């Protein structure tokens, strides 16, 4: 009998963005062969699970978040057989695997949309939001900028909250619900351990399609009925042992966010409140308290997320004068102190890996990669860039593995250029350059993740704040462990302790310098 572990409650989950992890076949685009060859990196890092960004057949209008077939693998990445092999090789290495499901929309190449476009009276139009009219039904905006409606040659309009190549599905239709339940079963039966749910709060739309009001209920964001969908997904997931549903839920209201995590809904959701929080002791402490409070109320584990494939890498964010994140103000190209950002990112790693709950690591953050902000306009690929002038390419650059010049071991020799250019300065950030260097970001992550498993305090669900100097955060986990993070401008004394386990930067004697975190074993 399988023992239910609820592994997602305290796992370290590593996000693979398959285009940019490792290229096995030399076309300059990452693929499953590359991931399988580099699985050892993830085993050495000590992660518990991989979350795989979309790998399905796709015209790649939005880097794979435009899915044409949820039950296969895009040839640029490999085959379904290679995906099955990767799942079992990951399992053999003790690593679980989560797939990314995109239920809000499909690709315009999906057979349903192709059928819907074939004739104005095609029944498949009911799977989407088609409306007749001289003008668009309303003035909703695409999340990437520009209108959310596109007109077909026959005069109808269809809704797309992202690009026109990502038509929104109509979740009022029972066939849409049945199809996604069948897709979930397909991947659970293929042995995956969890599902990351893209744009989880957007699925339902008010069928009257009203304008977005300044105040009052939003017509497509976080509609109450969406919870019934996740209740049925939960019933389905509960039919398989130990599978997790993890929502991408961007909601400023913590109470509304927590509704997705009620005991009969999703198991976890990404903590964007933490990701967007400034490097500021009072704001971080308030964010941590809010997070723990709202999750405890529904019995769900907190998650700690610093970066992903949509946001400015946190080394860069933390090196700016304004350290928050929001899509509206990406501050691309404003001054950045990468040394300061790296120092803070090291401290943030020890913070996020020692808070109770699950921690997410976006590929390359373990190498200390920064946002590549000087990609020439002609090489940018992100549709958000074309529609809004803010792009996400800078956090999606292929990983540097070894060597002194691009492609830094990303592709085999004699390969096409990487699909996005790598900065030459990354020669110092390759996996090979950092391995064995105790002062590197990579060794910091490796040691921290190893200690996270080994230290009894770090496995305790308890956390309590300690009194400390102004401008610092200090807390215990269980009786024997403490983390102190100095966000003030001056060195601070350490609390009484038995030994130092790990520090993000060298200590100054018995003092903790600014922008430094330390893990301590306490006397018990
Ligand atoms: C959220 C994904 O993380 C992002 O990359 C994508 O563009 C949108 N959802 C649309 O699927």
pLDDT class for 32, splitting at 50, 70, 90?
very high
Interval between CA 237 and ligand 1 midpoint (Å)? 23
| Smallest CA separation from ligand 1 atom 2, residue | 198
pLDDT of residue 331: 86
**Residue 49: enclosing H or E segment and its boundaries?**
strand 49-52
Mean per-residue pLDDT, 471-483: 96
**In this structure, are residues 495 and 474 in contact, taking their beta carbons and an 8 Å threshold?**
yes
- Token look-up 């074939």 returns 118
Range list of H helices, 93-128:
111-118
- Give the closest residue (by CA) to ligand 1 atom 4: 310
pLDDT band for position 330 (cuts 50, 70, 90): confident
Which residue puts its alpha carbon closest to atom 10 of ligand 1?
65
What pLDDT shows up at residue 105?
98
**CB-side neighbour CA atoms (13 Å) of 479:** 2
Helix (H) or strand (E) holding 441: helix 441-454
The answer for residues whose C-beta is within 8 angstroms of residue 137's C-beta and 6 or more apart is: 131, 149, 157, 159, 209
How far is CA 20 from its chain centroid?
14
Dihedral of alpha carbons 22, 27, 31, 32, sign? negative
329 pLDDT higher than 80 = no
- Say if residue 388's pLDDT is above 90: no
Can you tell me the distance from the alpha carbon of 107 to that of 67, in angstroms, rounded to the nearest whole number? 5
Contact 65 CB / ligand 1 (< 6 Å): yes
Ligand 1 pocket mutation pick from 99, 199, 249, 386 by most atoms within 8 angstroms of CB: 199
Q: In this predicted model, what pLDDT tens digit does every residue of 356-382 receive, in sequence order?
A: 999 999 999 999 999 999 999 999 999
Per-residue model confidence as pLDDT tens digits over 168-197: 999 999 999 999 999 999 999 999 999 999
For residue 309, the CA-to-ligand 1 centroid distance in Å is 9
Q: Do residues 56 and 68 lie in contact, with contact meaning Cβ atoms separated by under 8 Å? A: yes
How many angstroms does the Cα of residue 228 sit away from the middle of ligand 1? Answer: 22
pLDDT for 3: 58
Q: Residue whose CA is closest, atom 11 of ligand 1?
A: 65
Q: Is 107 in the pocket of ligand 1 (CB under 6 A)?
A: no
Element (H, E) at 502: strand 499-503
pLDDT at residue 285, rounded to an integer: 98
Q: Please report the pLDDT score of residue 2 as a whole number.
A: 52
Please name the residue that has the structure tokens 């520090």. Answer: 503
Q: How far is the CA of 505 from the centre of ligand 1 (A)?
A: 35
Alpha carbon distances (Å) from 54 to 102, 177, 345: 8, 20, 27
CB of 198 closer than 6 A to ligand 1? yes
Q: Whose CA is closest to atom 5 on ligand 1?
A: 310
The percent of residues above 70 in pLDDT, for the chain, comes to 99
pLDDT at 267 > cutoff 80: yes
- The CA dihedral of 470, 476, 482, 485, to the nearest 10 degrees, is -30
Catalytic residue among 198, 366, 373, 382: 198
In the residue annotation, 508 being an active-site residue is answered as no
The mean predicted confidence, pLDDT, of the chain is 96
Task: Report pLDDT digits (tens) over 80-121.
Answer: 999 999 999 999 999 999 999 999 999 999 999 999 999 999
Look at strands 244-247 and 268-269 and give their pairing. Answer: parallel
Ligand 1 pocket member 310 (CB < 6 A): yes
Task: Decide if 62 contacts 166 (C-beta within 8 A).
Answer: yes
Q: What are phi and psi of 68, to 5 degrees?
A: -95, -25
The Å distance, Cα 132 to ligand 1 centre, comes to 28
Q: Are 510 and 503 in contact (CB under 8 A)?
A: no
Would residue 198 show up in a list of annotated catalytic residues for this protein? yes
Q: Which atom of ligand 1 is nearest to the CA of 62?
A: 7
Residue 102, ligand 1, Cβ within 6 A: yes
Average pLDDT over residues 208-221: 96
The residue from 100, 248, 265, 273 that is catalytic is 248
- pLDDT the model gives residue 470: 95
Q: Which of 310, 232, 295, 309 is nearest to 258 (CA)?
A: 295
What is the rounded distance in angstroms from the CA atom of residue 48 to the CA atom of residue 360?
10
Is residue 62 lining ligand 1, measured as CB closer than 6 Å?
A: yes
Residue 125 to residue 123: CA distance in whole angstroms: 5
Quick one: average pLDDT of 510-522?
97
Distance between start and end Cα atoms, the chain: 38
φ and ψ at residue 160, rounded to 5 degrees: -145, 110
Task: Identify the pLDDT of residue 358.
Answer: 98
Q: Can you give the pTM of this predicted structure?
A: 0.98
Ligand 1 centroid – CA 55 distance (Å): 13
What pLDDT was estimated at residue 116?
98
Counting from 1 in the atom list of ligand 1, the atom nearest the Cα of 105 is 11
Q: Is the pLDDT score of 495 beyond 90?
A: yes
What pLDDT was estimated at residue 333? 83
Nearest to 163 by CA among 65, 97, 28: 65
pLDDT at 1 over 50: no
Q: In whole angstroms, what is the distance from residue 203 CA to residue 222 CA? A: 8
Task: Please check the confidence at residue 203 and state whether its pLDDT lies above 60.
Answer: yes
Closest-CA residue to 249 (of 239, 258, 238): 258
339 within 8 A of 393, measured Cβ to Cβ: no
Task: Read off the pLDDT of residues 395-454 as tens digits, 9 standing for 90 and up.
Answer: 999 999 999 999 999 999 888 999 999 999 999 999 999 999 999 999 999 999 999 999
Mean of the pLDDT values across residues 226-230? 98
Q: Is 199 in the pocket of ligand 1 (CB under 6 A)?
A: yes
- Burial (Cβ within 10 Å: 0-12, 13-18, ≥19) of residue 221: middle
DSSP for residue 148: S
Question: Cα separation of 68 and 58, whole Å?
Answer: 5
8-state DSSP, 240: S
Question: Residue 393: CB within 6 Å of ligand 1?
Answer: no
The residue count for the chain? 524
Return the minimum-mean-pLDDT range out of 129-138, 200-209, 242-251, 326-335: 326-335
- Report which of 347, 253, 245, 227 is spatially closest to residue 303, judged by C-alpha positions: 245
- Tokens 């790990």 belong to which residue? 502
| Cα–Cα–Cα angle for 241, 299, 271, rounded to 5 degrees | 90
The stretch 40-55 carries a mean pLDDT of 98
Residue 159 CA, ligand 1 centroid: distance in Å: 16
Minimum-distance ligand 1 atom for the alpha carbon of 161: 10
Q: What are phi and psi of 271, to 5 degrees?
A: -90, 85
* Centre of ligand 1 from the C-alpha of residue 295, in Å: 24
CA of 311 to the centre of ligand 1 (A): 11
**Element of type H or E holding 483:** strand 481-486
Tokens 């995590």 map to which residue? 261
Ligand 1 atom closest to the CA of 308, numbered from 1:
3
């Amino acid at each position: 009998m399988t023992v239910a572990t609820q592994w997602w409650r305290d796992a370290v989950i590593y996000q693979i963005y398959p285009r940019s992890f490792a290229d096995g076949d030399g076309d300059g685009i990452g693929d499953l062969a590359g991931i399988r060859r580099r699985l050892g990196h993830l085993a050495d890092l000590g992660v518990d699970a991989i979350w795989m960004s979309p790998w399905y057949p796709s015209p790649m209008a939005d880097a794979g978040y435009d899915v044409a077939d949820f039950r296969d693998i895009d040839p640029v990445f490999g085959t379904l057989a290679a995906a099955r092999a990767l799942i079992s090789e990951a399992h053999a290495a003790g690593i679980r695997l989560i797939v990314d499901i995109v239920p809000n929309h499909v690709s315009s190449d999906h057979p349903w949309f192709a059928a819907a476009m074939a004739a104005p009276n095609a029944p498949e139009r009911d799977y989407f939001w088609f409306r007749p009219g001289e003008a668009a039904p309303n003035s909703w905006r695409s999340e990437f900028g520009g209108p959310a409606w596109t007109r077909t040659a026959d005069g109808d309009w269809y809704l797309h909250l992202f690009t026109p190549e990502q038509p929104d599905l109509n979740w009022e239709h029972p066939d849409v619900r049945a199809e996604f339940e069948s897709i979930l079963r397909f991947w659970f039966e293929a042995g995956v351990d969890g599902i990351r749910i893209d744009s989880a709060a957007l699925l339902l739309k008010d069928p009257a399609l009203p304008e977005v009001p300044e105040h009052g209920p939003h017509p497509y964001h976080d509609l109450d009925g969406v919870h019934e969908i996740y209740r049925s997904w939960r019933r389905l997931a509960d039919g398989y042992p130990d599978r997790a549903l993890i929502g991408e839920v961007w909601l400023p209201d913590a109470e509304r966010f927590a509704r997705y995590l009620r005991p009969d809904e999703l198991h976890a959701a990404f903590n964007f409140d933490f990701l967007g929080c400034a490097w500021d002791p009072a704001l971080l402490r308030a964010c941590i308290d809010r997070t723990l409070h709202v999750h405890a109320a529904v019995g769900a584990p907190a998650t700690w997320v610093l970066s992903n494939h949509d946001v400015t890498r946190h080394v860069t964010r933390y090196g700016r004068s304004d350290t928050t994140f929001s899509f509206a103000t990406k501050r691309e190209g404003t001054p950045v102190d990468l040394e300061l950002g790296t120092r803070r990112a090291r401290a943030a790693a020890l913070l996020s890996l020692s808070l109770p709950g699950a921690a997410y690591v976006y590929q390359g953050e373990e190498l200390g990669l920064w946002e590549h902000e000087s990609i020439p306009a002609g090489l940018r690929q992100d549709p958000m860039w074309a529609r809004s002038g803010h792009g996400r390419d800078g956090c999606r650059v292929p990983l540097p593995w070894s060597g002194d010049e691009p492609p830094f071991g990303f592709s085999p020799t004699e390969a096409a250029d990487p699909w996005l250019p790598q900065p030459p300065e990354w020669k110092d950030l390759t996996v090979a350059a950092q391995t064995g260097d105790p002062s590197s970001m990579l060794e910091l992550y490796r040691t921290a993740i190893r200690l996270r498993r080994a230290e009894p305090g770090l496995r305790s669900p308890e956390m309590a704040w300690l009194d400390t100097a102004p401008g610092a955060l200090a807390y215990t986990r269980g009786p024997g462990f403490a983390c102190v993070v100095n966000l003030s401008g001056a060195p601070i004394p350490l609390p009484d302790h038995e030994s130092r386990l790990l520090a993000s930067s060298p200590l100054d004697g018995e003092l903790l310098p600014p922008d430094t975190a330390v893990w301590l074993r306490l006397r018990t």
